[in-house]
Amino acid sequence: MTPISVYLSSAYLAPVSYYVWLYASRKAYIERHDHYVKQTYRNRCVIAAADGPLALTIPTEKSATLKCPMKDVRISDHGNWRHMHWNALVSNYRNSPFFEYYADDFVRFYEKKYPFLWDFNQEICELVCDLIDIHPQMEGTQEYKMEFGPDERDLREAIHPKRSVGQEGHDFVAEPYYQVFKEKFGFLPDLSIADLLFNMGSESLLVLQKCIRTNFKIQEL
């Protein structure tokens, strides 16, 4: 199977499978023109916590229209979420092997106010790619596309909190790796990329490679 171009939704500290696609694909188009939908990875990530998987959700401002394009979604300051999210990352990953190594890279996203969710998500994504040492060709979409060619795949709704890893559309298997609460809960698959990075550091790339199904050819970078 030759490398393809993929269309992905914007995502906040997206799950591991999202970064598998960024690594393996020829080019990734990050959707800017889809209608914003709550309870998705657009404004939510899932990390490991002492009581099990924990969802961290970014509050957004209510739109004047029912169907707001993702590119226009504004972040709300409601609930002091930046402080809460950063505290959650610190409290649950401070004992992980690489948290202190990466903490300064991440904390700035919780100190600066970003007006728009898409911009916030994309800047974190670009940082994570640099830290893992993958270099995907990414660009925001210019319109909402409905039809796709044979060398393109629409994954905008395939990577979703309500879809299990390994379902059709993923070409992804959850390769186990060390996690801080693994002895308590067992391996938790497809958590936020932050979980992989804080636990595995520079070996995160090796995990991404092992997550790709054998029938999917990796794009040479």
Tell me which H or E stretch contains 184: helix 182-185
Reading the block at residue 86, the tokens are 């950063």
Q: Is residue 216 part of a domain?
A: no
Q: Is residue 98 part of a domain?
A: yes
Q: Is residue 218 part of a domain?
A: no
- Longest CA–CA span in the chain (Å) reads 47
Contact 148, 134 (CB under 8 A): no
In this model, does residue 170 exceed pLDDT 70? no
8 phi and psi angles, rounded to 5 deg: -120, 150
Q: Is residue 220 part of a domain?
A: no
Q: Is residue 189 part of a domain?
A: yes
User: Quick count: other Cβ atoms within 10 Å of Cβ 152?
Assistant: 17
Q: Percent of the chain having pLDDT more than 90?
A: 81
Provide the 3-class DSSP secondary structure of residue 48: strand
Look at residue 220 in the predicted model and tell me its pLDDT.
Answer: 38
For residues 197 and 71, give the distance between their C-alpha atoms in angstroms, rounded to a whole number.
27
**Number of domain units in the chain:** 1
Look at residue 63 in the predicted model and tell me its pLDDT.
Answer: 81
For residues 127 and 42, give the distance between their C-alpha atoms in angstroms, rounded to a whole number.
17
- Which pLDDT tens digit goes with each residue over 72-94? 999 999 889 999 999 999 999 99
Q: Is residue 217 part of a domain?
A: no
* DSSP string of 56-101, one letter each residue: EE--BPPPSSSS-BGGGPBBP-GGGHHHHHHHHHHHHHTTSTTHHH
User: Quick count: other Cβ atoms within 10 Å of Cβ 139?
Assistant: 10
| Total-model pTM | 0.92
Provide the 3-class DSSP secondary structure of residue 144: coil
How sure is the predictor about 165, in pLDDT bands with cuts at 50, 70 and 90?
A: low
Provide the 3-class DSSP secondary structure of residue 23: helix
Look at residue 168 in the predicted model and tell me its pLDDT.
Answer: 43
Q: Is residue 26 part of a domain?
A: yes
Q: Residue 92 belongs to what domain range? A: 5-211
Q: Is residue 124 part of a domain?
A: yes
For residues 32 and 29, give the distance between their C-alpha atoms in angstroms, rounded to a whole number.
9
Q: Which residue's entry shows tokens 């040479």? A: 220
What is the separation of C-alpha 24 from the centre of its chain, rounded to a whole number of angstroms? 15
In this model, does residue 172 exceed pLDDT 90? no
Q: Percent of the chain having pLDDT more than 70?
A: 91
For residues 85 and 114, give the distance between their C-alpha atoms in angstroms, rounded to a whole number.
15
